[in-house]
Amino acid sequence: MTMRVLESRAARENWRDALDEAISGRADIVITRYGKPVTAMIRYEDYLAVQDELIRLRARQSEAYQAMLASESALSSEWDSPEEDEAWVDL
């Protein structure tokens, strides 16, 4: 399987051709914005085949994001006692 990379403007201008390529299975289409990949177009049958793994991946990413947010709020909290301040002195 080949991969075709299109800038978002080119993807918009050539939408039908890119869609036909993805549908036929001739190529997976990666769409970039400002030179960075942002999305991909693949055949629907391929998407169905990997959908369960995508669900697991997105759940893990969400859990990691929630943990990051929780740690940020804990790290930005004010210390309530001199003992807490003292505990962090040597770190």
Q: In the chain, where are the structural domains located?
A: 1-42, 44-73
Q: How far apart are CA 49 and CA 81, in angstroms?
A: 54
Q: How far apart are CA 29 and CA 22, in angstroms?
A: 6
Is residue 25 a contact partner of residue 43, using CB atoms and an 8 Å limit?
Answer: yes
- Tell which CATH classification among 3.40.50.300, 3.30.70.360, 3.40.1620.10, 3.60.20.10 matches the domain 1-42: 3.40.1620.10
Q: How far apart are CA 62 and CA 2, in angstroms?
A: 30
Question: Per-residue pLDDT tens for 23-80?
Answer: 999 999 999 999 999 999 999 999 999 999 998 988 888 888 788 777 776 666 665 6
Question: 3-state DSSP call for residue 77?
Answer: coil
